[in-house]
Amino acid sequence: SQTIHQWPATLVQPVGSPLSLECTVEGTSNPNLYWYRQAAGRGLQLLFYSVGIGQISSEVPQNLSASRPQDRQFILSSKKLLLSDSGFYLCAWSTALGLSYEQYFGPGTRLTVT
Amino acid sequence: AQKITQTQPGMFVQEKEAVTLDCTYDTSDPSYGLFWYKQPSSGEMIFLIYQGSYDQQNATEGRYSLNFQKARKSANLVISASQLGDSAMYFCASSASTDSWGKLQFGAGTQVVVTP
């Protein structure tokens, strides 16, 4: 069966510090991968998605970047965090075929920028 | 572009009763998918149910059913026989045939509280 991992689970970082959040998927090949951010009490905002190694599409211009160095690894980064980067970050995967792209989410990382 | 609207920010429902969560969507795509997710206080998003725009019958998954009214562009979730563990945030989402990468557009969510 497929599983998706994210770490760390929680993170408190000062403004201006770098960020690296990691997501890995097990039990599937060539998944579509997604990064979402959820502000407190709000819906999910798609940040990045990837359909293959080294291929990244950005949905929202911002202070963040993403990379996919391996088929089942997705990394969210920032060189200098802003207060507005605080939120709950969710990684998700889906299969690459069909319209019923139900996405399966990881446990999330709660980021607080101080 | 797609847009998902969930007009109910929060709802209270008594245990064992049914509850309907509203979702309307706005899309010009010829075919699309509609999804519901549950987010408990732990934060993880749990996939509940899927409805394709060309599906003739409403989707059902256990106590969850999707009341799909294509002409009205609505995809309401019905939870029957509510349980305390159903207390969570519920999100409606859609995908589009014109987007081959499976991106989902989410609504703002509805907070459900089940009371004893």
Greatest pairwise CA separation for chain A in angstroms: 42
Mean pLDDT, chain A, integer: 91
A108: closest CA of chain B, how far (Å): 7
Q: How many CB atoms lie within 10 A of CB B53?
A: 20
Residue B60, both tokens:
């059902």
- The runs of H, that is alpha helices, within B9-80 are none
B102 touches chain A (CB under 8 A): yes
Cβ contacts of residue A65 below 8 Å, gap of 6+?
Answer: A48, A56, A76, A77, A78
The tens digit of pLDDT for each residue in B42-51 reads 999 999 999 9
**A49·B103 Cβ contact <8 A:** yes
Give kind and range of the element (H or E) at residue B51: strand B46-52
Cβ contacts of residue A61 below 8 Å, gap of 6+?
Answer: none
CB B82 within 8 A of CB B13: yes
A99 confidence band (pLDDT: 50, 70, 90): low
- CB contacts, 8 Å: B33 with chain A: 99-101
Q: Which pLDDT score is estimated for B47?
A: 94
A63: closest CA of chain B, how far (Å): 21
Q: How many CB atoms lie within 10 A of CB B82?
A: 20
DSSP state of B86: G
Per-residue pLDDT, averaged over A63-78, amounts to 95
- CB contacts, 8 Å: A107 with chain B: 42-44
A105: closest CA of chain B, how far (Å): 6
Query: Which residues numbered 18-57 in A keep a CB inside 8 Å of some CB on B?
Result: 32, 34, 42-44, 46, 49, 51, 57
Specify the residue for token string 């579509």: A32
Q: Which residue among A43, A92, A102 sits closest to B50, beta carbon to beta carbon?
A: A102
What is d(CA A83, CA A65) in angstroms, rounded to the nearest whole number?
Answer: 16
Ranges of residues in chain B whose predicted pLDDT is under 50:
none
Closest CA to B94 of B70, B113, B78: B70
Cβ contacts of residue A98 below 8 Å, gap of 6+?
Answer: none
Q: Which pLDDT score is estimated for A71?
A: 94
